[in-house]
Chains A and B, each alone.
Chain A
Amino acid sequence: MSRLLEVLGLKTYFFMEAGIGKAVDGISFYIDEGEVFGLVGESGCGKSVTALSIMRLIPPPGRIVEGKVIFEGEDLLKKTSEEMRDIRGKKISMIFQEPMVALNPVYTIGFQIAEAIIVHYPDVSWDEAWERAVKMLERVGIPNPRRRAEEYPYQMSGGMRQRAMIAMAMINNPRLLIADEPTTALDVTIQAQILELMDELKREFKTSILFITHDLGVIAEVSDRVGVMYGGKIVEMGDVFSIFDEPLHPYTYGLLSSLPKLNEEGKNRLYAIPGVVPDLLAFPEGCRFRDRCSCAFLKCEDDPPMIEVKEGHWVSCWRYAEDV
């Protein structure tokens, strides 16, 4: 397997009047071809900003300050905006958390999917684009696709719309699909269907996926490797089994402990990580988790390094440093 995407030391800051919000502060990870990389973390930890940074769609006052996003051997951050526009939707596409509002209400589903083709392949005739849109709708499991293509978003349910979004994202056979909480707004049965569909499409089109979610159950289901984000940094990264079986970082450990367990008696209160996520503008110096960490010690006032504890399993915590 070869590297498809490599993010190196990416920093995306938001320059606001109240101060600088370091939403993403020096994260590095990679995604291989055909791989699903899960990015997990609670709200506001910088997952979505990471995704938008890769797409170069950070809204002002945000700005990518530093780092590299190497996609197919080229740094996306060095591309012109025209080159970038050509990559979006063709080589990298994205699906969003809210299928209810991610489709334009005044155009039919078929129109929006066909447009995604025409934008990148102006030579394709409208009729052919429409045909391909209908085929893709059928592929993502929309019944009666020919009629559905002529319907407007409001005529569809949330699950249907997310399928349509996926069809739109996959229509140009992208190399990388960024899925920003694609199942969060859907109910559980639909979630399972959508996850299954994404898995099928991944195999069929050999697309890599960056899967962003706060749902550990979903992450365990779909990803090959996982990165755990906290306060704009990746605190732990490894393959899905080692993360779930032997979590190393106290935050990952805390997250896994706060999942309800089915086989336990209902007497125990659900564990919660103490404290709250610190304000974006006022992260503590050093390890950003140390205020909430039960095992923090003096050294944690310095920035912890990324340590490879086992092959492919990295953690950013002083507890695993050898020379403390």
Chain B
Amino acid sequence: MGFSWVLKGLFKSPTSVLGVCLVLFFSIIALFAPWIAPPEYPDEPYLLPKAGWSAEPSPPSAEHPFGTTEGQYDIFYGIVWGARTAFKVGLITVGFSALIGIVVGSISGYFGGWVDEVIMRVTDIFMAFPFLVAAMVLTTILGKGLDKIMIALITFGWMGYARLIRGSFLAAKEELYVLAAKAIGVSDLSIIFKHILPNTIYPVIIQASMSMGSMVVSASALSFLGIGAPEGYADWGQMISYARNWIVGAPGDALKYWYTFFYPGGAIVLFVLGWNLLGDALRDILDPKLRGPRGAR
């Protein structure tokens, strides 16, 4: 079952095609951000350009295709560069929490006994905190900033992966090929990472792509609450927070400032949807328990 086989599977159902397209779409936007929306301050491209000093948002115009939000920040620019922020936050938090989870979980599952007991109890302690509240407290302690959000999200985001991989290891370490590897003199570390991990990594890949979306939502939530991205930073969560005062519209015209929340909100929804659909598709392809008889390799 190779890479091409996964690709083929991705194009089998319309929902997974949609997922792939959405993720690709955002990747292209993020990748070509400097060309799509050339930065006004090349040294700090994530800083939103301001079109004036008036507080009231102004509707889409030729100069500002998506309009401007509170403080005259350009929405179009924010969406484009916010895509970069979203990928940065998603990839880094998911990448590191998966990495920590994999290392911790495999050691726990492979060695078992008191090692497992200690590691799993520590994991339980981390899981005992409500995710968003814990991340919020930690971000507040660390200070404002996107990197602080990411540290907080990683700190409270690795446990799921650890449990997942530990479970797989508990089953996989009993496999005969593990004993056979031991019998030719392979070391424990090599057995864990070279022999067992490639056989147990798929659930983690699925989980990781699913949580790309939720991690970005959590980061946006923190930004929305004002403890995340610094003022004027291109971040979808922050852009929604700018729309907070304008969501109700004006007397007699509830949707007067629709563009302030529609574009950033839509971007978040589509981004999360894309990753979730992709994750679903990957699960259908990679999880042998869900695979139909036709799918056998």
Contacts and interface: CB of A to CB of B under 8 A. Distances in A.
A85 B183 CA distance: 8
Nearest to A87: B185
B185 A103 contact: no
B199 A105 contact: yes
B121 interface: no
Given A60-B113, A106-B199, A119 B177 contact: no
Contacts of A102: 176-177, 179-180
How many chain A residues sit at the interface, stated as a range, is: 20 to 34
Contacts of B181: 104
A96 B181 CA distance: 11
B199 A96 contact: no
B297 A119 contact: no
Contacts of A94: 180, 183
Contacts of B199: 104-106
B176 A89 contact: no
B195 interface: yes
Interface in A88-109: 88-90, 93-94, 96, 98, 101-107
B179 A57 contact: yes
A163 B297 CA distance: 24
B184 interface: yes
A10 interface: no
Contacts of B177: 101-105
Given A104-B195, A104-B199, A98 B184 contact: no
A101 B176 contact: yes
B297 A89 contact: no
B236 to A, nearest CB: 38
A136 interface: no
Nearest to B173: A59
A154 interface: yes
B185 A85 contact: yes
Contacts of B52: none
Interface of A: 55, 57, 60, 85-90, 93-94, 96, 98, 101-107, 115-116, 119-120, 154, 165, 168-169
24 contacts: A55-B182, A57-B183, A60-B113, A87-B185, A88-B182, A88-B184, A88-B185, A89-B183, A89-B184, A89-B186, A90-B185, A94-B180, A96-B176, A98-B176, A101-B175, A102-B179, A102-B180, A103-B177, A104-B177, A105-B177, A106-B199, A119-B187, A120-B185, A165-B180
Given A93-B184, A101-B177, 17 more contacts: A55-B183, A57-B183, A85-B185, A85-B186, A89-B184, A98-B176, A103-B177, A104-B195, A106-B198, A106-B199, A107-B198, A115-B184, A115-B186, A119-B186, A154-B297, A165-B180, A169-B184
Interface of B: 112-113, 175-177, 179-187, 190, 195, 198-199, 297
